[in-house]
Amino acid sequence: MISDEIKKYFENLVAPLAKLDKLDEYFDNIKNEIAAKFEQIVREQDNKIKLLESKIEIQNNTIEKLSIKCDDALQYQRRSCLRIHGVPVHTGVKSKEILTTLKDCYNKLDLTFQSDEIDRAHRIGKKYVDYSGNKVQTIIIKFKSWKARQDLYKSRPRHHNKSTQKPGPPFTVSLDLTYRRYQLLKSAKGAIKSNSNFLYAMADINCSLGIKCKDD
C-alpha cells in the first residue's frame, strides 16, 4: 500500500506535465538539480582523492626511508666481503678447489695466502665462458679481519699496470655491493658520460657511493 507521503510526492512530480507551457521549465529545474547534485558528489570525491594521495605520498616516503635504512644495514653486513670475478672453474672437491683457486689469485698479486683469514668462500652467480674460452664463475669471500680484506682489495688488479702498461691478471676484485647500490653506481656511471663536469663515479673502500668532480 502506497503511503500518503509517497503518493503526494508522485502527484507533485507529475502535476507540471499537465501544463505544457511549464514543461520546459520543469525539465530545466530537474536538470539543474541533478547537475548540482553531481557537482557536490564530484567535489566530495575530489577531496577524498586528494586526502588519499597525500596519505600515499607520506607512506611512499616512509617506505623509501625504511628501504634505505634496510639497505644500509645489509651493506654493513657485507663490509667484510669481496668478490673475485673471472675465476676459472676447476673440477674436484669444492672446498679444496676454492682454496686452491684463491691461493693462485693471491700468488698472481704477490700476496701471501692465509686460509685461516678466510671465514667463508664459495662460488656465486651463473657460470659463463670468458673471452679465452674458459668456464668461469665469481667467488665471494668473507674475511675474518678487516685488514685481510683490505690487503686483497688494495692489491686488486688494475686494467693495466701504469708503469709497464702490461695487462694485469685475468680476474678482477670488487666490493660486495647490495643490488640497490650496484644499480645506483651503474646508473651514475652511465649518467656522467655525457657530463664534462664529472670524472667518474665510484664506490669507496667502505662501500659508500660518490662522484669525482673535475674541480675536486
Which of 158 and 140 is assigned the larger pLDDT?
140
- DSSP state letter for 161: -
Amino acid at 164: T
Query: Is the separation of the CB atoms in 90 and 101 below 8 Å?
Result: yes
By mean pLDDT, which of 118-127, 132-141, 150-159, 172-181 is the weakest? 150-159
- In terms of residues, how long is the chain? 216
Any idea what the Cα angle at residue 73 is, between residues 192 and 213, rounded to 5°?
20
Q: Which residues contact 171 (CB under 8 A, 6 or more apart)?
A: 84, 85, 86, 87, 105, 108, 157
Q: Kindly report each contact of residues 63-67 with a partner whose C-beta sits within 8 Å and lies 24 or more positions away, as own/partner.
A: 67/180
pLDDT digits (tens, 9 = 90+) for 13-71: 666 665 555 666 767 777 778 778 888 888 899 999 999 999 999 999 999 999 999 99
**pLDDT value of position 210:** 86
105's grid cell: 689469485
Amino acid at 157: P
Structural domains present in the chain: 1-77 (no CATH), 81-176 (3.30.70), 177-216 (no CATH)
Q: Is the pLDDT of residue 165 over 60?
A: no
The span from the CA of 164 to the CA of 105, in Å, is: 20
Tell whether pTM > 0.85.
no
Max Cα separation, the chain?
108
Q: Is the pLDDT of residue 1 over 80?
A: no
Q: Where are the beta strands (DSSP E) in the chain?
A: 81-85, 118-129, 135-143, 172-175, 198-203, 209-213
